[in-house]
Structure 1
Amino acid sequence: MKPTYVKGLRWWIIGLVMLGVVLNYLDRSALGVAMPTLSKELNISTKEYSYIVAAFQGAYMVMQPLAGHLLDILGSRLGYAVFAVVWSIACILHGLATGWLSMGIYRVLLGLSESAVIPASMKVVAEWFPDKEKSVATGWFNSGTSIGAMIAPPMVVWCILTFSWQVAFVITGGLGLIWVGVWLFAYKDTKAHPRLDPAELEYITSGQASDRNKADKTKTPWRALLSNRNLWALMTSRFLVAPAWATFTFWIPIYLSTVRGMSLKEIALFAWMPFLAADLGSIVGGYLCPFFMNKCKVSLITSRKLVVLIGSLLMFGPACIGLAADKYTAVVLFCIGGFAHQALSGALITLASDVFPKSDVATASGWTGSAAWLGQALFSLVIGAAVGKIGYDPLFVCLAFFDVLASIILWKMIPSTQSANSVLAHQAN
């Protein structure tokens, strides 16, 4: 019997990946939405909340390089499933917290397991898409980060008002376990998937740079990887831009509540909007790269750099939140920031698949992600310590300058026509 192929299967696969990212970010965003309630019921202060956030970010930071390495060993199918099971259970355990310390412990477990989501997703993109479509695929799955954060406010508030805050964590975590079952049923590697048309497989593999395909079976030692100039450029850039997204994800509900005086219901009505804008930023940023390549005749790497530059300049929108006359204008400026950050973030994340072989993509993504989460953890601690003294406004201004500096470093350190593979090969000889 002739096998039944699914037309454009790679796009169905990235849709499944995007759903996993949505649930991942729903789990991590639930705490920020529930904090106005938890601060009263569990007596958690703003400073203690910053410790909880930093515990998650620190665990995420430490684990990401190891998670990426494990994913390169286990493969996309099994590796993604294992980590998703653990992060879903960790989210459910949040409902057992009795204070900031126990909540911090559960957040550590969540951070250790959720650290795999971006390296795993990038590994799937590297395996399933030709080079010219990688930024688009990354834009679509990266939109899941903001979709998850966007649906968290109404869903978590509804659970709290209808049931309890404990049930909110059980429901959000339970959805991840359902996704794992779907993932194991539907996902196979490109060469083993019975529904992948051979013509589509040829289109994918023929569109990937030959140097990366040749290096596919040989993993680069960590020592050689960590001596790569391009890796350090990506790590430094992500270290600088990551605090913006952490601030939006973990602090927008608190800011709108304490500074702008929004009620829990108003937070449910408005706190999701910046993440809707972030969805658009992810998708538009993904399509901007091939647009620049086709219309401006620039290289693949330059197209990524241009998206990062545009996004970093737009970040001056949220830098002006302190000048906003009312809470609705503040939400609009947050929306500009969400759009800008996710557009530039998608380009940065995709660069790992552009300049590293498929066998090293998850590991390289893990190292750059670790740098990003170090930046997030440090900035969260700064917010917790400084917001009571200087307020949020100077911190929002810092985020814009961090992004511009990241763009400058990217343009200076990564050659627009040279891949990291050639650097690695040179170092190996």
Structure 2
Amino acid sequence: MPELMRNGLIISSQNIAYAISKFIGGVLSDRLSSRLLFSSGLVVSGVATILFAQSDSIAVFAGLWFLNGLAQGLGWPACAKVLRQWFAPSQFGTFWSLLSASANISGGLSPFIAAFIIINYGWRTSLVMAGTVSIAMAGVAIVTVVNCPQDANLSPVVPKTNDNNKNKSKSETKWTDLLKSPFLWLVSVSYMSVFASKTSAVDWGQMYLIEDRHHSQIIGSSFTSSVESGGFFGSALAGYLTDLVLRRQLAAKTGAGDGKKSINRLTPSNARMPVAIAMMTVVGLCLHCFRYHITDTSSQLMITTLGFVLGACLYGPIAIFGVVASESAPPHLSGTSHAIVALAANFGAIMSGLPFSLVAKHYNWSAIFLLLEIVTFFTVILMIVGRNIPARIGTPPKLH
């Protein structure tokens, strides 16, 4: 992977495709079957990965990884739509984060599994196996994924209103209203910032350790795995904490005797943002330590510990921003709302590809992490200033 990543074109090609596809997938998830979208993405991604293993040209590599990005972009919007249908707001953050954390399991284990397969059978076999598993899981998903409780003859999580009110809500809230929401713009900018940091930590962190700090490739790979491992706990913790804060604020409001008026002022999204601010602050501190306090004599324990904390506080806000974007919009626009902020997030990922590799070429890898540190602290200030911006877009979700 480090050899492939020296050519930023391959990384950027996938990130550009993923950004396009995730936006389109979010819009489609409001209109098509989530089960079909998710399964289709798995199949195409698997096929592209297998074909990648049969290729030798950099141009073909970039083209196939672009196709892979297009396929993978369909997955998460479909998952987000299913979660919105199956879980109430007071549970939404927890289950969203658990689903997010599942990606960190593969991200943490795959470097070791892939290394074992590559050493014994070659890198092409490793990719063929990964693609085959993806296609097989598409078959599992098409059978097991259920779009909403009603498809399983169960009651909806949020009780239906009468048809007149439902139609009125849809006619009053349109996708253009999402673009006018200051809160959604705040989430988009924050999402872009944290995604640039996450992608850079995973893609370029080991290069920084190897080339600028002269550590071995084993230590570089262990840092990448520690970021993903920390991401698992950070994602799960973020969802649990934000749901806990939401329930406590709701209990405090109702117990204060202010009644329905207080409940209407309380939105799940506003209640979750302070947790994201705290985690983003720690991200900035970790980036500072990574640049100024990691040297060629730093121990592997110190490096992996820093990577673990960094990963936890990177993936936590990523999970939170996805939740608040989805739940701040009416159900019929939740996929589109998430698609808008995801587009901004993937722009951050694109910037961390070829543009950042050019920065490293002209300066060094250290310059990238200095830039990320500055951007992160600027984002924290922006989030603090905008913490009281109303999150409600159209018809708000009911609290449970």
Please classify the TM superposition score into its range, dividing by the shorter chain length.
0.7 to 0.9
2:91 to 122, 127, 133: 133
How many pairs align?
375
Kindly indicate whether residue 119 of structure 2 is the aligned counterpart of residue 166 of structure 1: no
Q: Which moved more, 1:286-295 or 1:218-227?
A: 218-227
2:375 to 398, 402, 413: 402
CA contact (8 A) 1:319 1:399 kept: no
CA contact (8 A) 2:92 2:243 kept: no
Query: Which residue of 2 is the match for residue 313 of structure 1?
Result: 281
Kindly indicate whether residue 321 of structure 2 is the aligned counterpart of residue 348 of structure 1: yes
State how far apart, in whole Å, the 1-side matches of 2:210 and 2:125 are: 22
State how far apart, in whole Å, the 2-side matches of 1:169 and 1:155 are: 11
Cα–Cα, structure 1 residues 324 and 414, in superposed 2: closer, same or farther, change >3 Å? closer
- Residue type matched to 1:229 in 2? P
- Stretches of 4+ aligned residues off by more than 6 angstroms: 211-219
State how far apart, in whole Å, the 1-side matches of 2:222 and 2:145 are: 36
CA contact (8 A) 2:190 2:383 kept: yes
Q: Which moved more, 1:402-411 or 1:390-399?
A: 402-411
SS in 1 for 2:30: helix
Query: Which residue of 2 is the match for residue 106 of structure 1?
Result: 64
State how far apart, in whole Å, the 1-side matches of 2:235 and 2:145 are: 24
Cα–Cα, structure 1 residues 396 and 145, in superposed 2: closer, same or farther, change >3 Å? farther
TM-score, normalised relative to structure 2: 0.84
Kindly indicate whether residue 15 of structure 2 is the aligned counterpart of residue 57 of structure 1: yes
CA contact (8 A) 2:22 2:74 kept: yes
CA offsets per residue over residues 15-65 of structure 1, 9 Å max, x none? xxxxxxxxxxxxxxxxxxxx24xx3xxxx672x2x1111111111122222
- Which 5+ residue runs of structure 1 have no aligned equivalent? 1-34, 424-429
CA contact (8 A) 2:92 2:323 kept: yes
Cα–Cα, structure 1 residues 85 and 45, in superposed 2: closer, same or farther, change >3 Å? closer
CA contact (8 A) 1:131 1:207 kept: no
SS in 1 for 2:92: helix
Kindly indicate whether residue 69 of structure 2 is the aligned counterpart of residue 69 of structure 1: no
Cα–Cα, structure 1 residues 240 and 215, in superposed 2: closer, same or farther, change >3 Å? farther
CA contact (8 A) 1:213 1:358 kept: no
TM-score, normalised relative to structure 1: 0.79
CA offsets per residue over residues 176-216 of structure 1, 9 Å max, x none? 1111111111122334444x7x4xx35x22599xx997778
State how far apart, in whole Å, the 2-side matches of 1:190 and 1:170 are: 33
Cα–Cα, structure 1 residues 231 and 416, in superposed 2: closer, same or farther, change >3 Å? closer
Q: Which moved more, 1:69-78 or 1:401-410?
A: 401-410
Q: Which moved more, 1:128-137 or 1:358-367?
A: 358-367
- Residue type matched to 2:277 in 1? L
SS in 2 for 1:324: coil
Alignment of 1:319-398 (within 5 A): 319-322=288-291, 323-325=293-295, 326-328=298-300, 329-398=302-371
Cα–Cα, structure 1 residues 290 and 225, in superposed 2: closer, same or farther, change >3 Å? closer
- CA shift at 1:411, angstroms? 4.5
- CA shift at 1:320, angstroms? 1.2
State how far apart, in whole Å, the 1-side matches of 2:71 and 2:58 are: 20
CA contact (8 A) 1:318 1:333 kept: no
CA offsets per residue over residues 70-124 of structure 1, 9 Å max, x none? 2222121112111221112112222123132221111110111111222222111
Query: Which residue of 2 is the match for residue 234 of structure 1?
Result: 187
Cα–Cα, structure 1 residues 422 and 217, in superposed 2: closer, same or farther, change >3 Å? closer
State how far apart, in whole Å, the 1-side matches of 2:215 and 2:53 are: 25
CA contact (8 A) 1:356 1:364 kept: yes
Cα–Cα, structure 1 residues 238 and 207, in superposed 2: closer, same or farther, change >3 Å? farther
State how far apart, in whole Å, the 1-side matches of 2:200 and 2:123 are: 22
State how far apart, in whole Å, the 2-side matches of 1:362 and 1:264 are: 40
State how far apart, in whole Å, the 2-side matches of 1:334 and 1:212 are: 49
- CA shift at 1:312, angstroms? 0.8
1:85 to 43, 62, 78: 43
Q: Which moved more, 1:220-229 or 1:384-393?
A: 220-229
SS in 2 for 1:74: coil
